[in-house]
Structure 1
Amino acid sequence: MPIHGITERSRNVKDGFIFVARKGARDDGILHVQEAIERGAVAIVVDRNTGLDNNATKEMTLITVPDGRKFISHASAKLAGHPSESMTIIAVTGTNGKTTVTHFIGQLLAMLGEPAAVIGTTGLFMNGRKVNLDIPEMTTLPAEFLHPLLRDCVDAGMKYMVMEASSLGLSTSRLDHCKIDVGVFLNIGVDHYEEHGSKEAYIAAKKRLTTMARDLIVNAADRECVELVKCSERPIHFFNELMVAGKMIPYDLYPIFLPGKHNRLNALAAVTVMHLLGYNYLKILQLCSRLKLPEGRLQRLDGGDVTVFIDYAHTPDALQTVLASLTEESTGELITVFGCGGDRDRGKRPQMGKVAATYSSKVYITSDNPRNEEPSTIIEEILMGINCESGKINVELDRRAAIEKAICYAKNGDVVLIAGKGHEKTQQIGQELLTFSDYEVAEVALRTKKK
């Protein structure tokens, strides 16, 4: 029987599809078998005793497999013709910096005339241009979307694919049947612990990449990363602020033009990848002066006397890194607007509050994506980490109002950092997904301030 596709989402089933009735965190595919059949499924895959209604599936092929996720990964790669084998795949993991590093690698490849695609938090880019596709907004795509996308990229002539490999993507087998040539380890910080169940489980998820990639590139300055790869049998290539793949960086080629030490380190991670791909690292360092930060990563808005930065920093490590960088470059006050997402790691909230209060002259604590949590409860947990004069801290539940107040307060020479959402164009409150852009709100507030 010809098979035209595979999915674990019943609403995506079409004629000739296999439906994998897998049990997820919030829903059970078994409950949607009938819908899948009505939409044209020709086979149902299960990975446990189901209690399925025999009348509903009596004329349907029923397949039992040990692991539904691994089956989706295997079958998606097979149906797409194993496209990863026709490309050089670079997978970048780390708590912070994945988007920036993947885009830097993509830009360097483009400068050399190499056809390259980049996929991750900000979407799909081919040769530097964004391609709008009907795919989930996830850092690492599920296998049923990833392999058809890789096939499209191969058919479009892409020679390289640079992708973000999130801890959740690795732990849920999304990349299991994707051939990975280079695995990059940037850092291990505080995030996603609750989603994985523990810090140990989070690190174990990252560690999976050490067995999946042919070669490993590792930040020698991050102890957790070094510890993570020490038992790996794969070739390991280290980089830090002074070297790429064991080679010292000439002072005159050091990427000092990029804002923040973390972005300079991100650039050197990208240079190390290029060196491993066979390019002369000195030549690549010369190209680094043309690198541009991706949207929402220390994205700058000049408002005359006041400068605003939009950044995706949503972990304590990332927020501290960005604030430390801006402290070095600011001549006036540093004003921070931030919140924490709901239904995510609660342990980081007081830590982020402490970081913001330590580095900032003024802090506006607000909503991020509260999701199904009460925004005021999230803010209370952020405040638990703050021990300073009350005049420094301002609470404003409405994110738009918080941004407007921060920019209105800012004076000549001040810097305003709006952290947490970066490139995002929406805000999730409860089950509603509202249109919201930090950049656009800040832009309007700056124009109003000038009047």
Structure 2
Amino acid sequence: MKEGYIFVARKGCSDDGILHVQEAIERGAIAIVVDRNEEVNFETSTEITLITVPDGRRFISHASAKLAGNPSESMTIIAVTGTNGKTTVTHFIGQLMAMLGEQAAVIGTTGLFMNGRKVIIDMPEMTTLPAEFLHPLLRKCVDEGMQYIVMEASSLGLSTSRLDHCKIDIGVFLNIGVDHYEEHGSKEAYIAAKKRLTTMARELVVNADDRQCVKLVNGANRPVHYFNELMVAGRVVPYNLYPINLPGKHNRLNALAAVAVLQRLGFDQHKVLPLCNRLELPEGRLQRLDGGDVTVYIDYAHTPDALQTVLASLTEESTGELITVFGCGGNRDKGKRPQMGMVAATYSSKVFITSDNPRNEEPSSIIEEILMGINCESEKIDVELDRRTAIQKAVCYAKDGDVVLIAGKGHEKTQQVGQELLTFSDYDVAQAALREKRK
């Protein structure tokens, strides 16, 4: 809060803005916005405007867009949603745009990229930015000459009105899996949040092979265009004519999702498809480290579906044993923990179960819930609370020809333990372990 600011007193999960009105005024607020018919008490010697609105979040969204000059109306905006693959698909679209000479920015989990180059900017590390950050960032993109914006649309971003006053030209539906159920209150509320994009985008691009996505867009009163591993917007894409050299079948699907978007934007798919062989996976998405005869992959997979997809892909490509290191985040969906344990044990020769971002939960309790899904010999499972040690153990255990997957954190450079945010990179730790192994 600074001099001349407007203070929106929203009720959150653990605090209430109304309790901080007096402090906001003392810091210079000139107006207070509330979204409840509740008496607001404060003392001040200056005149303060009190505004009542139906929804505080939507007011923030509306005001942020207006104050930034409605920048979304000056660009073509693509919003990508799905339980898994949002980051990869947005980056693929951005890379293809750059190859075609178009000015495009990508906004999402890994930050801001303009024409393929990362831009260091002070913004929250969130999949979908809150409106008060998003619209000024869109204004910056307009000022930098960006014509296209490709952004990740998370279920939480959609349900909390972060994109309500952002003009969206194309909405992309990749898949619906297990994630964020507890944060939304139920599976149904999670799906309903995703469905909001069907009413916000001018037209939709949808994965034809995901039954939940197809069901979600059924009855949408706007054009719907489908894609799958063999089809882009109703047109067959033969494997032999357009091979896509990316690890995992799911990444071919991600590439074709990107092609489908460009096709809807008016680009010739036969010119776009050959460019897919130049696509590069974003940081932390099946990111490969070669350690002589042992290969390590870093991946962000933190849902049962994502972990299964990645492990299935690596199983097909691996000639030796598949060793998996993973954990589950604290203060998040507990229901997926045993499921991820079962998936890891099913596909892997050896599993090291460790901490992810335990946050305010006890790491050992999270691991106990993961173990509830595992029904196999104990020799296959190794529990190591310390993530650094778990990675080191996994790399040391690997023999020539083996593959080690370190899943869950991907590109992240920190680990949240309690209220502490510790510096931690799976990539750096694995790289150091491989160096030590080669000595």
Shorter-chain TM band:
over 0.9
Amino acid of the structure 1 residue aligned with 2:433: A
Give 1:416's match in structure 2, choosing from 395, 401, 404.
404
Give 2:157's match in structure 1, choosing from 159, 169, 177.
169
For residues 74-95 of structure 1, what are the alpha-carbon distances to aligned partners after superposition, in whole Å with 9 as ceiling and x for unaligned? Answer: 1110111100000000000000
* SS at structure 2 position matched to 1:300: strand
For residues 410-447 of structure 1, what are the alpha-carbon distances to aligned partners after superposition, in whole Å with 9 as ceiling and x for unaligned? Answer: 00000000000000000000000000000000000000
What is the CA distance between 1:29 and its match in structure 2? 1.1
Give the aligned partner of residue 41 of structure 1: 29
Query: CA–CA distance in 1 between the matches of 2:45 and 2:306?
Result: 50
What is the CA distance between 1:206 and its match in structure 2? 0.2
Query: CA–CA distance in 2 between the matches of 1:253 and 1:377?
Result: 51
Give the aligned partner of residue 398 of structure 1: 386
Residues 197-236 of structure 1: matches in 2 within 5 Å? 197-236=185-224
What is the CA distance between 1:129 and its match in structure 2? 1.0
Give the aligned partner of residue 355 of structure 2: 367
Give the aligned partner of residue 6 of structure 1: none
Amino acid of the structure 2 residue aligned with 1:181: D
Give 1:334's match in structure 2, choosing from 316, 319, 322.
322
Query: CA–CA distance in 2 between the matches of 1:114 and 1:133?
Result: 22
Cα pair 2:158 2:196 within 8 Å, conserved = yes
* SS at structure 2 position matched to 1:417: strand
Give the aligned partner of residue 280 of structure 1: 268
Query: CA–CA distance in 1 between the matches of 2:10 and 2:232?
Result: 43
Cα pair 1:30 1:50 within 8 Å, conserved = no
Give 1:139's match in structure 2, choosing from 98, 104, 127.
127
Cα pair 2:22 2:43 within 8 Å, conserved = no
Give the aligned partner of residue 294 of structure 2: 306
Give 2:338's match in structure 1, choosing from 350, 363, 377.
350
Amino acid of the structure 2 residue aligned with 1:386: I
What is the CA distance between 1:250 and its match in structure 2? 2.9
Give the aligned partner of residue 19 of structure 2: 31
Give 1:118's match in structure 2, choosing from 81, 103, 106.
106
Give the aligned partner of residue 7 of structure 1: none
Amino acid of the structure 1 residue aligned with 2:176: I
Residues 287-326 of structure 1: matches in 2 within 5 Å? 287-326=275-314
Q: Point out 4+ residue stretches in structure 1 off by more than 4 angstroms.
A: none
What is the CA distance between 1:51 and its match in structure 2? 3.3
Cα pair 1:218 1:226 within 8 Å, conserved = yes
For residues 173-230 of structure 1, what are the alpha-carbon distances to aligned partners after superposition, in whole Å with 9 as ceiling and x for unaligned? Answer: 0000000000000000000000000000000000000000001000000000000000
Give the aligned partner of residue 237 of structure 2: 249
Query: CA–CA distance in 1 between the matches of 2:64 and 2:79?
Result: 19
TM-score (norm. length: structure 2): 0.99
Cα pair 1:253 1:285 within 8 Å, conserved = no
Query: CA–CA distance in 2 between the matches of 1:202 and 1:352?
Result: 19
Cα pair 1:255 1:267 within 8 Å, conserved = no
Amino acid of the structure 1 residue aligned with 2:287: Q
- 2:255 is equivalent to residue 270 of structure 1: no
Give 2:143's match in structure 1, choosing from 146, 155, 173.
155
Cα pair 2:300 2:410 within 8 Å, conserved = yes
* SS at structure 2 position matched to 1:301: strand
Amino acid of the structure 1 residue aligned with 2:308: Q
What is the CA distance between 1:58 and its match in structure 2? 6.5
Mean alpha-carbon deviation: is it higher for 255-264 or for 168-177? Answer: 255-264
Amino acid of the structure 2 residue aligned with 1:245: A
Mean alpha-carbon deviation: is it higher for 243-252 or for 68-77? Answer: 243-252
Give the aligned partner of residue 4 of structure 2: 16
- 2:61 is equivalent to residue 73 of structure 1: yes
For residues 261-286 of structure 1, what are the alpha-carbon distances to aligned partners after superposition, in whole Å with 9 as ceiling and x for unaligned? Answer: 11110000000000001011111101
Query: CA–CA distance in 2 between the matches of 1:228 and 1:157?
Result: 35
Query: CA–CA distance in 2 between the matches of 1:34 and 1:123?
Result: 35
What is the CA distance between 1:14 and its match in structure 2? 2.4
Query: CA–CA distance in 2 between the matches of 1:250 and 1:327?
Result: 24
Amino acid of the structure 1 residue aligned with 2:11: K
Amino acid of the structure 2 residue aligned with 1:433: L
Give 1:188's match in structure 2, choosing from 176, 191, 210.
176
* SS at structure 1 position matched to 2:158: helix
Query: CA–CA distance in 1 between the matches of 2:241 and 2:282?
Result: 22
Give the percent of matched residue pairs that are identical in Structure 1 and Structure 2.
83
Which sections of structure 1, spanning at least 5 residues, go unmatched? 1-12
- 2:231 is equivalent to residue 240 of structure 1: no
For residues 19-38 of structure 1, what are the alpha-carbon distances to aligned partners after superposition, in whole Å with 9 as ceiling and x for unaligned? Answer: 10111112211122223223
What is the CA distance between 1:57 and its match in structure 2? 8.2
Which sections of structure 2, spanning at least 5 residues, go unmatched? none
* SS at structure 1 position matched to 2:43: helix
